[in-house]
Amino acid sequence: MALSPLYNLDATPSCPHEKCLEHDPDDPMVLCNYAALIMDKREYQRAEVLFKKTLDIQAVPNAYYGLALLYRMADQLEAARSVLETYFTRFSHQKGPDVSSIHDEARKLYNEISAELRVQEKSH
């Protein structure tokens, strides 16, 4: 599952994410984008820390989505669903093309996770 439609993963040579974070370690957008990049490189524990740090600083919709996706990839479906439920509670009132795009993706992910959990419940 590619993240590039939802994240700007381009780390330009003049300002890679790590360099940007040296100057402003609490920039939520840089943290979130860097977490997505790290997750794409399969450094899941490091990505989780960065997504959580982002959310500690600011409620960034992409950080919720990224963290939920990470949990799904780790087969932590309940945790993924919980993150998405928090996202929906916090952002259900917001409108606009940026929010709409992430909201649609989050809704699809939520439905997939819910279906997987129903299958697991039936098999127990």
Position 13 pLDDT exceeds 60: no
As a whole number, the mean pLDDT across the chain is 84
Structural domain span for residue 118: 17-123
Q: Note the pTM of the prediction, 2 decimals.
A: 0.81
Identify whether 11 is part of a domain. no
Identify whether 7 is part of a domain. no
CATH number of the domain residue 43 falls in: 1.25.40.10
Q: Hey, what long-range contacts does 71-80 have (CB within 8 A, 24 or more apart)?
A: 72/109, 72/112, 72/113, 73/39, 73/44, 74/44, 77/113, 77/116, 77/117, 77/120, 78/117, 80/109, 80/113
Number of independent structural domains in the chain: 1
